[in-house]
Structure 1
Amino acid sequence: MTSRRGFIKAGGLALFGIGMGGVPGFLMDAVAGTNKLGLFKRRKIMVCIFQRGAMDGLMAVTPFTDQYLKAARPTLFMSAAKNTSGKSLIDLDGRFGLHPSMAGFESVFRDKRMAIVHGIGSPNSTRSHFDAQDYMESGTPFRKGTESGWLNRAVGLLGHDAATPFQGVSLTSSLPRAFYGDNPAVAISNLQDFNIQMKGNLKGANMAAKSFEDLYDQTASGLLKETGKESFDAIKMLQKTDTKNYKPANNAIYPNTALGNSLKQIAQLIKMDVGMEVAFAESGGWDTHFNQGRDTGIFARNVNDLSESIMAFWADMGTLQDDVTVMTMTEFGRTVKQNGSGGTDHGRASCNFILGNGVTGGKVHGLVNPLAVENLEDGRDLAVTTDFRSVFSEVAGKHLNIHNDKVLFPDWDGKPIGVMAGS
């Protein structure tokens, strides 16, 4: 008869069902000993959020003392002064102001657990959403044919063999470009359906299948054999699973949005201890060509969702906060000057947010020069002064203990900027 250790190792996917309905009772009993066995030793987890569509970093974190920006955005510019009409920016340091709809970030910024990097972007000057996202997710800005994504390579550099196909998990309908490659990674559109999409990741698919085949074939117990293949299929898909009864810690309330629901499910996976170390989620709607709005409107709603979703996740992590770092990214920024439709067009640099107990927080990192025309890229855009790879490699290096930058970002030989403590 297969040992309990052998059962758990072979049936890593069964761990996915802890605390959720629709899982056969014998598996619940077997899995109950997992923590005692310590199969999935607690490890650090990096959560990446891609803001697809190109976020206007100059509106999210505004250099509000810049008179050039004020002149370029007559209806979009916001001030930190309290006597202005409408809501005011949240003054972070006397120069940069946080959009008022991102007020949830203020406390962690003040507590030095959130860092902001401004002027971040790709060295490739494309303003194509598709190409820019591809370059950022592959981590090779000047090589379009790269087969693997940087997050998949990160999984491969973690320094230990995966005991579970859930080492890298994307809460998306299909596997994102960042997770393409030979190392274990899966996409799950919804835990209730457990609809695994493994396009671009044959090894992950093979590993998932092998774990169940081994679990079934290596077990001589009649108790297991009687369940038949249907039980394993049910576990693989976890159809009709009820996740609505999940109760976040610390009374955290997630927005009922795509991002909020994704981060809520990532929190569940972390607490289920399925061996996840890299997680991915998406936030859409950042392509604000028309009616961008100022303190209300499309942009305000988007940044509110971003900040409220992340802060709910952070509260939900509770005592696990030391193990988790959250990092946002977007393919490029928006033009300095607003257009005739009350929006902004495709630009170059933007900003990103890094949340964790190991960041050099309470600071806006990076270089943003005065936004006079002579300082703008192509005379129209916030210049890229920080290569995204210098930030991504530093966060992965410090938090996940990955130090092979030549593999993680093959064409990059830059240096970290000090966004992580001890860098």
Structure 2
Amino acid sequence: MSTATQSSTAGPDAGPDVSILAGRTHEFVRQKVIPIEDRFDGDVTMAGGDDLRRHLQAQAHEHGLLAPQAPVEYGGLNLSMVERARVLEAAGYSLFGAMAINAAAPDEGNMHLLAHVATAQQRAEYLAPLVRGEVRSAFAMTEPAPGAGSDPAALATTATKAPGGWRIDGRKAFITGADGAGFFIIMARTRGQAGDRGGATMFLAPAGMPGLQVGRHIPTMDRSMVGGHCEVSFDRLLVPDAAVLGEVDEGFRHAQVRLGPARMTHVMRWLGAAVRAHETAVEYAAARRGFGSPLAELGLAQQLIADNEIDLAATRALLDVACAALDAGSAASQETSIAKTFAGEAIGRVVDRAVQLCGGLGVSADLPVARIAREVRPFRVYDGPSEVHRYAIARRAVKAARRRASS
């Protein structure tokens, strides 16, 4: 094991039980999950989609690994953010690993949201079967232009009061996992108009309701997400008052409960994938000879390896800082933005260097590096593009400076 992998199973805040759990997760992923990923080049649809998910999650349940992030009373392991960091990194060593232990997006983030915001009845109806892996879910926020994307205030989908409930109308795009989802969490505007701050509400809606239509899969470069990234439309979708998740007009505030933690669990999973790409490249460079010596003994190759080790260690450190802040009860907006931005770019650098070290094999399906490169590139866009996070980071820094100057 390289230094990068050794440190991935023993963080400073992780107790021995978490280290053991991370180790068991790593072994489960290597033995049960990676052979399937390799056979189908990381294409989850070709590998079986939901049938594969159910098969792997049943095995994860038998190994005591299912839903490490979810509440114990619903069948999860209830790990804190710091504790789950090493476990989800170990799962992320395979592109299918997070799915296998029921900690993949968007379900993982939706479990967190439901656990903190939903009513007891909503948790029984939606959270419990989600944790058990009986259903999948989708979070319907993003819209076609000029609707909500990086700027949530552009939210155009509307929810209008109707007798006994609400009528939802609008269109969504890039909704991960929508095809085959058992239910949707829908963000819709209940006050004001597109461009206004605030005035959004979240609603729960089972799939198959009249007026809820899952459209085409939007072709994307990544292939490891069950249910794809779909267009979804709402045409006079009627939901009861009991479908409101949280409070009316407080949807944006409640969404923050999900946002920071979900960004960090993305970092955890993709960090695991980057570790696998790096380890693959180092093993290849140590065995491949060129110009009279092993590739790993050449200076330029050593620089690529060293820079990867640095980026992996720095990503892990920033991740742990953000997770500790979240566990302490902070919104951790600055910490999670910094960690997400750095990680998205550092993970991309690590995998790109791994491709370069592996040469022709690095762009082939004979090694996992090319498919990992394909999967991690969208992370610089998903959950907030790097440019939007930099904008937010700078605004918070300037605001803090002005506050200090006026005190």
- Give the TM-score band, short-chain normalised: under 0.3
TM-score by length of 1: 0.24
Q: Please say which structure displays the higher CA radius of gyration.
A: 1
**Which structure has greater helix proportion?**
2
- Comparing both chains, which one has the higher relative contact order based on Cα–Cα distances under 8 Å and sequence gaps of 6 or more? 1
